[in-house]
Amino acid sequence: MADFLKKNPEATIKVIPQNFEEKEKEYILFYEAKKKYFLTTGANSRHSYNETDSVQVEKMSIKDVKFIAYLNKMVPDSMLFTLQDKCMKLVGASFVDAKFNILKEERYNEFLFYFRENGTEKRLIIASGENVIPYNGFSFYKIQYTGVFPHYLLKAYQKMNELNNEAPRVKFKRNRQKIVRLR
Question: Residue 101 has what pLDDT?
Answer: 95
For the chain (183 residues), the mean pLDDT of every run of 10, in chain order, is 87 92 96 94 70 92 95 92 95 97 94 94 91 87 86 85 70 70 61
What residues pair up with 11 in beta bridges, in sequence order? none
Contact indicator for 123, 5 with CB cutoff of 8 Å: yes
Q: In angstroms, how far is CA 89 from the centroid of its own chain?
A: 24
Please state, in angstroms and rounded to a whole number, the distance separating the CA atoms of residues 27 and 44.
Answer: 22
Backbone CA torsion sign across 71, 72, 73, 79 = positive
Question: Residue 32 has what pLDDT?
Answer: 97
Please state, in angstroms and rounded to a whole number, the distance separating the CA atoms of residues 114 and 74.
Answer: 45
